[in-house]
Amino acid sequence: RTDRICVRETEVKGLKIPEGMQIAVPIYILHHNEKLWQDPEKFDPERFSAENKAKIKPCQFMPFGFGPRICIGKRLAITEMKIALAKLLREFILVKCDKTKVGTRE
């Protein structure tokens, strides 16, 4: 959760946020914003290639939050995912079948 409580009245780009108001960054919406991502629904790992990574603005991609309260388990989670993927690819041969959908999620 990225909820925060505003501790003093603040103005961000003309929008007044009163003291005590609860605000949150909607991460899913941020990561599916067409103004920020080309073809946001497409599974496209190349967005994060060394070449493309530099085009991503700060806070545009923040699955683990941001700032002093960023997810404390971020590195553990990423390491676990890498181990799971490595084990999967080492122990199984993945092949396409008739029902396999490639590309978009439609």
What are the residues binding ligand HEM (CB under 6 A)?
A: 1-2, 63-67, 69-73, 76-77
Nearer to ligand HEM, 1 or 90 (CB): 1
Cβ at position 48, least distance to ligand HEM in Å: 15
Nearer to ligand HEM, 28 or 93 (CB): 28
Contacts 24+ apart (CB under 8 A), 69-74: none
Cβ at position 95, least distance to ligand HEM in Å: 27
Cβ 37 vs Cβ 57: under 8 Å: no
Instruction: State how far the alpha carbon of 87 is from the alpha carbons of 68, 80, 92, 93, in Å.
Output: 33, 11, 8, 11
Cβ at position 66, least distance to ligand HEM in Å: 5
59 among annotated binding-site residues: no
Nearer to ligand HEM, 39 or 80 (CB): 80
Sequence ranges of the binding site: 71
